[in-house]
Amino acid sequence: MVESKWDSEKKTSKQKVLEYLGSVENLTIDNIPKDYRTGSIRKFFIKNQTKLNEEVVEKQKNLEMILTRCLLTGDEDMSTQKSDELIKLIGLQRFYVESITNIMTETGKRWYDGEIGIAEEHMITNIIRKIVEINNHQIEVKGLIEGVAVICNPEGDDHTLSNLVLEGLLKIRKYKVVNIGGNWYMGEKTKATNKAIIDFSVESRPDIVFISVTIARYLFNAKLIAKELSKALPDTKIFLGGLGTQGIIEGELQEGIHLANKDTLSTLNTL
């Protein structure tokens, strides 16, 4: 921790080491002397995904519980308000990776246990989707972009929400994102569908392609798309990921195709 003061006579800054705090990964705001816990310091902890102190973690859990109740009642306005409070507390990236995952996991469990019906599950998903879309739209990408990223999923596999979350995480990292994920089901025209996805991706000339597959039975299509893209775009990083890839190991995929880590941030941090 370094303090910098401006020397008006020498017209330069004087720096003084105040304290050695150790590895950033193990820091919390509590490690910072109270006099230095400014807004910029707090933003640093949120932005860099460092450990949160116990008070913030407890607030996060409580807000997630309240947000879940708002979603269950279909209260879109209160759901948006509580989402904003969570984002202010822990940052957009952590909200996407932790809070949305926690809430949707709890929603899926309630549906599986028969506590809610499929209609309620769809309602919750749709409200969360709107919240993510609003926040994605508000992400400002200033200066030079890091590159172009294409997000897609194979024919038959429709999971819009996770694609939108990934889109936001990439925009935070200053990528221009082309999201063509959605319901590509075309019955007997599977080959035509795969070709449409491949052709569009190639024409976009991306630096990165993310192929997301949730249901294992669509993994064949995902691998086919990845194989064709790796041939057409030899300089492009191609990631295959999602729940449908469980059980695959890195060595199973051909050269040029990377298996995305189940921890999304671990994959994104390698870009």
Q: Are 200 and 228 in contact (CB under 8 A)?
A: no
Q: Residue 131: what pLDDT? A: 98
Q: What is the pLDDT of residue 151?
A: 96
- Residues 19 and 84: their CA atoms lie apart, in Å, by 34
Q: What does the alpha-carbon distance between residue 11 and residue 7 come to, in Å, rounded to a whole number?
A: 5
Chain-centre distance for alpha carbon 34: 32
Instruction: Indicate the fold that domain 147-268 takes in CATH.
Output: Rossmann fold (3.40.50)
Residues with Cβ within 8 Å of 256's Cβ and at least 6 positions away in sequence, in order, are 230, 234, 238
Reading the chain (271 residues) residue by residue, the pLDDT tens digits are 788 888 778 778 777 777 777 666 566 666 777 777 777 776 666 556 556 778 888 999 999 999 999 999 999 999 999 999 999 998 899 999 999 999 999 999 999 999 999 999 999 999 999 999 999 999 988 888 999 999 999 887 878 899 999 999 999 999 999 999 877 666 666 567 888 899 999 999 999 999 999 888 888 889 999 999 999 999 999 999 988 888 787 677 878 899 888 778 788 877 7
12: which residues sit within 8 A by CB, 6+ positions away? 6
Q: Which CATH superfamily groups domain 54-138?
A: Methionine synthase domain (1.10.1240.10)
State how far the Cα of 233 lies from the Cα of 203, in Å rounded to an integer. 10
> Which residue has 């910072």 as its token pair?
32
What is the predicted pLDDT for the residue at 50?
Answer: 57
Residue boundaries of the structural domains of the chain? 2-47, 54-138, 147-268
CB 154 within 8 A of CB 213: yes
What pLDDT sits at residue 190? 58
Greatest Cα pair distance in the chain: 78
Q: Give the burial string for 60-72 (b: 16+ CB within 10 Å, else e).
A: beebbebbbebbb
The residues that bridge with 6 in the sheet, in sequence order, are: 13
Output the 3-class SS for the chain.
Answer: CEEEEEECCCCEEEEEECCCCCCHHHCCHHHCCHHHCCHHHHHHHHHCCCCCCHHHHHHHHHHHHHHHHHHHCCCHHHHHHHHHHHHHHHCHHHHHHHHHHHHHHHHHHHHHCCCCCHHHHHHHHHHHHHHHHHHHHHCCCCCCCCEEEEEECCCCCCCHHHHHHHHHHHHHCCEEEEECCCCCCCCCCHHHHHHHHHHHHHHCCCCEEEEECCCHHHHHHHHHHHHHHHHHCCCCEEEEECHHHCCCCHHHCCCCEEECCCCHHHHHCCC
